Amino acid sequence: MKYAFSTGDELRALCEAEGLTIAEVMIRHQLELDERTRDEIVNEMFENLMTMQRSISIGFDENQETMTGNAGDNAEKLLAFAENANMGYDMARICAAALAVTEVNASMGKIVAAPTAGSSGVLPAVLIMCSEKRGFTDMDLVNGLFAAGAVGIIIAKNASISGAAGGCQAEIGSASAMAAAALAELCGASPKAALDAAAIALKNILGLVCDPVAGLVECPCIKRNAMGAANAVLCADMALAGIASIIPFDEVVVAMKNVGRMMSSDLRETAKGGLAVTPTGLEIAKRINLEG
């Protein structure tokens, strides 16, 4: 397979050899794996994009009733506050969109796992909300999703994208790295700079544990999606400004894997450590179990 890649270096070499974007290499590799035509593959991704767009608008429009009842209207609150936000109007809307998607997910609404359901807010928020300002077309956004997928594949192959295996750094960290690279590439970054954006994003979230209250994809997952989105935008901008990652992407991925291995299983999705075992976390868990 001519366009197969397992590392960031391999991906970059494929891009540079033919002057291709990360998205284009991903599409060509998918054609090698998939029996479908290019149009069918692109349409499949377009279907994902439309589901993402819908999940943002549903999360903005309707008050979501999540399982614990502890979240559901955070997206609307932040959206309404965007004009006054210290982080600026655009960033507040991006973070609100990440809350929106994850609140839809927490209330059994339809989302696209990217790479997981628990981290599904980061990528759509970053790409779709930036498209308003940057004028990305739907086709640009579809390409962004392919570029993000390429980064996710490298992380999945060399580390993990599962909270049970690697903690939150493997879920929100991966989503943030994927979104950072995709946004950077859509804004014209070279493959090297896009991978630098991914490396910085993953470095910033390195070591984050997975400690869901009551074992549910709700607290702290929803707010961590907003953080992951903000981090992705920050890291894309740093890379676009010409800031490089001192530790190369591939080495960061291996570091993330090793940190995950050092993490106690109590901090990997089992709800036996961190926020899950705080007095408030335990009280919420007890209440939900009584209801169930």
Chain CA centroid to CA 65, Å: 23
Binder among 3, 24, 56, 116 for other proteins (CB under 8 A): 116
Of the candidates 237, 263, 103, the residue with the CA atom closest to the CA atom of residue 183: 237
In the complex, the smallest distance separating the C-beta of residue 84 from other proteins, rounded to whole angstroms, is: 30
In the complex, the smallest distance separating the C-beta of residue 243 from other proteins, rounded to whole angstroms, is: 26
211 lines the binding site for other proteins (CB under 8 A): no
186 lines the binding site for other proteins (CB under 8 A): no
Tokens of 156: 């999945």
CB 267 within 8 A of CB 174: no
In the complex, the smallest distance separating the C-beta of residue 116 from other proteins, rounded to whole angstroms, is: 7
User: What is the per-residue binding string for other proteins in 59-98, x denoting contact by CB under 8 A?
Assistant: --------xx------------------------------
In the complex, the smallest distance separating the C-beta of residue 178 from other proteins, rounded to whole angstroms, is: 8
- The rounded radius of gyration (Å) of the Cα atoms in the chain is 18
- The C-alpha atoms of residue 287 and residue 290 are separated, in whole angstroms, by 5
Q: Exposure of 140 by Cβ count < 10 A (0-12 exposed, 13-18 middle, 19+ buried)?
A: middle
Phi, psi for 94 (deg, rounded to 5):
-65, -45
150 lines the binding site for other proteins (CB under 8 A): yes
- The C-alpha atoms of residue 283 and residue 222 are separated, in whole angstroms, by 19
Half-sphere exposure of 74 (CA within 13 A, CB side): 27
In the complex, the smallest distance separating the C-beta of residue 88 from other proteins, rounded to whole angstroms, is: 28
In the complex, the smallest distance separating the C-beta of residue 81 from other proteins, rounded to whole angstroms, is: 25
- Could you tell me how many residues of this chain bind other proteins (CB under 8 A)? 55
14 lines the binding site for other proteins (CB under 8 A): no
Of the candidates 177, 143, 179, the residue with the CA atom closest to the CA atom of residue 160: 177
Site for other proteins, residues 218 to 277, rule: CB under 8 A: 218, 271
**Peptide bond before 220: cis, by omega within 30 degrees of 0?**
yes
141 lines the binding site for other proteins (CB under 8 A): no
Tokens of 291: 């209801």
The residue assigned the tokens 């050899």 is: 17
160 lines the binding site for other proteins (CB under 8 A): no
Give whole-number Cα distances, 151 to 146, 229, 285, in Å. Answer: 9, 16, 35
User: What is the per-residue binding string for other proteins in 268-287, x denoting contact by CB under 8 A?
Assistant: ---x----------------
161 lines the binding site for other proteins (CB under 8 A): yes
Phi, psi for 108 (deg, rounded to 5):
65, 35
User: What is the per-residue binding string for other proteins in 163-182, x denoting contact by CB under 8 A?
Assistant: -x-------------x----
In the complex, the smallest distance separating the C-beta of residue 114 from other proteins, rounded to whole angstroms, is: 5
**Which residues of the shown chain bind other proteins in the complex (CB under 8 A)?**
1, 4, 6, 26, 29-30, 33-34, 44-45, 47-48, 51, 67-68, 104-118, 120, 123, 145-146, 148-150, 152-153, 156-157, 161-162, 164, 178, 214-218, 271, 288-289, 291-292
